[in-house]
Amino acid sequence: MRLKSFALALTVPLALGACVQQPEKVQSSYVSPSTYAGRSCNQLMSERNEIVGRVNLLTNQQKKAATNDAVATGVALFLFWPAAFALAASDDNSTALASAKGHYDAVTAQMRKQGCRMPPEPVQTAAVQPDSPKRSWQ
């Protein structure tokens, strides 16, 4: 009984503190559109395409890390408490993903401000809130 209490006391804080966010839950950090001022529409489009590629890469890495984290949490909580130590090894890219999303928002805002031709955005599904626009990687 003591061992179970010890394992639970060790596992619960680790499980709660080490959870990797799903990429769709990561909010963009603020980046000023003026960061991209003075660039031509072609330069902005090129920058936007690079950012979308970076966001896609980070999103895939974050999904994988979140899935691995959820599996390790489940194993730690229900089967084998030493697996909780694997939670610390999860590769959380939420800060980099939030930054990339912020740069995407900033370059898009600058493109609109300059009247640049915008690429078509993906079709929104019913699951998306009307006040949260879809981005190229969603």
Cα diameter, the chain: 68
Assess if residue 56 is contained within a domain. yes
Assess if residue 48 is contained within a domain. yes
Average pLDDT, the chain: 76
Question: Helix or strand or coil: residue 125?
Answer: coil
CA distance 19 to 80: 17
Assess if residue 95 is contained within a domain. yes
Q: Which pLDDT score is estimated for 29?
A: 94
The tens digit of pLDDT for each residue in 32-63 reads 999 999 999 999 999 999 999 999 999 999 88
Assess if residue 102 is contained within a domain. yes
Q: Which of 78-82, 101-105, 107-111 has the lowest mean pLDDT?
A: 78-82
Q: Which residue has the higher pLDDT, 74 or 64?
A: 64
Assess if residue 67 is contained within a domain. yes
The predicted model scores a pTM of: 0.66
- Please count the structural domains in the chain: 1
Q: What percent of the chain has pLDDT over 90?
A: 41
Q: Which pLDDT score is estimated for 128?
A: 47
CA distance 83 to 114: 52
Assess if residue 65 is contained within a domain. yes
**Residue 110 pLDDT > 90, yes or no?**
yes
Contacts of 138 (CB under 8 A, 6+ apart): 24, 122, 128
Query: Looking at residues 5-10, what average pLDDT do you find?
Result: 49
Domain interval for residue 79: 30-114
SS (H, E, C) 7-30: HHHHHHHHHHHCCCCCHHHCCCCC
Assess if residue 132 is contained within a domain. no
Q: Look up residue 86 and give its DSSP letter.
A: G
Q: Which pLDDT score is estimated for 77?
A: 58
Assess if residue 1 is contained within a domain. no
